[in-house]
Amino acid sequence: MSNPRTSHFSVPPTEALRVDAGFDLSTLDPGATPGWDHGRKAAEKSMARRGRDLSDLQERLFAHGRTGGERSVLLVLQGMDTAGKGGIVRHVIGMVDPQGVDHAAFAAPTAEELAHDFLWRIRRRTPRPGMLGVFDRSHYEDVLIARVDDLVPRATWEARYDQINEFEAELAASGTTIVKVAMFVSLDEQKERLRKRLERPDKHWKYDPSDLAGRAQWPAYQEAYQAVLDRTSTPAAPWYVVPADHKWYSRLVVTELVLDAFRSLDLDWPTASYDVAEQLALLERS
């Protein structure tokens, strides 16, 4: 059994990391570990335990999806290059059954995608009932890189914040619990992680010379992220900001945030739609 002194948050991530009115991104310390005072080793143990709970609840959601339920969960991951989005997918989402996961990575839009409204490709990938959807990048790129790099006129991206809120409210009303996670690394930690990609031949494929452009535009991205957090953290789809210089911390808290979303569904196993005793008797004779 676990040691309760090292398995608990002093403040739950849903409170410690939630973005409320007046949140100031410039005060965030990417090296901090809000709500967790037990260090790395205890975090890794705690995460494995939470992973088993998550896996159990995810199967219940999947079972409900198979038996007419309408609920789903969507994890939206945002963050600058090297913030650790991929690591979340591998290490957090990797703890649950792949059958119940619908993972979508949104790269630069294709010509076909650009010919549609920016939410077109996003709507196509929202999770079906019973599924845990994961967006690695998302519609938020359309108010982040699109804003920073002037890919569309100001009036276009300005209008998107409200469009996003309406879309997410609609999604939530139709049964999807949305967990939005923005991961922040420091400029120094990012340099370290990019250096590692350049120094190791097995990591070269993860590096792109355009990654340096993001560093040069750091203040513009901070401003664009601040606007996202100010304007799109809603009761139906709140943002959580995750300090991400410590990978063990960001993985632990994202596990907990997703687990909390599943707990909030309060799902029991679905009841049988057939007569169990009758089927048992038929089975014995078969």
Residues of this chain that bind its own copies (CB under 8 A)? 63-64, 66-67, 86, 89-90, 93-94, 97-99, 101, 103, 105, 134, 136, 191, 194-195, 198-199, 201-202, 204-209, 212, 215-216, 269-272, 274, 276, 279-280, 282-284, 286
In sequence order, what are the residues at sequence separation of 6 or more whose Cβ sits closer than 8 angstroms to the Cβ of residue 6?
38, 42, 45, 46
- In the complex with its own copies, which residue's Cβ is closer, 101 or 254? 101
Q: Give whichever of 159 and 281 is closer to its own copies, judged by the CB atom.
A: 281
The SS3 assignment for 106 reads coil
**Interstrand relation of 176-184 and 101-105 (parallel, antiparallel or unpaired):** unpaired
What sign for the dihedral angle of Cα 85, 88, 89, 90? positive
Look up residue 37 and give its two tokens. 């005072």
At its nearest, how many Å lie between its own copies and the CB of residue 206? Answer: 8
Calculate the CA 15 to chain-centre distance: 16
Smallest gap from residue 236 Cβ to its own copies (A):
26
d(CA 108, CA 78): 14
Closest contact distance (angstroms) between CB of 162 and its own copies is: 31
In this structure, which amino acid lies at residue 148?
Answer: V
Q: Say which DSSP state 267 is in.
A: P
Task: Specify the residue, 18 or 103, whose C-beta has the smaller distance to its own copies.
Answer: 103
Q: Is the Cβ of residue 117 or residue 208 nearer to its own copies in the bound state?
A: 208
Count of C-beta atoms within a 10 Å radius of residue 103: 14
C-beta of 89 vs 143, nearer to its own copies: 89
Q: What angle do CA 49, 54, 59 make, to 5 degrees?
A: 135
Min separation Cβ 155 and its own copies, Å: 32
Shortest Cβ 202–its own copies spacing (Å): 5
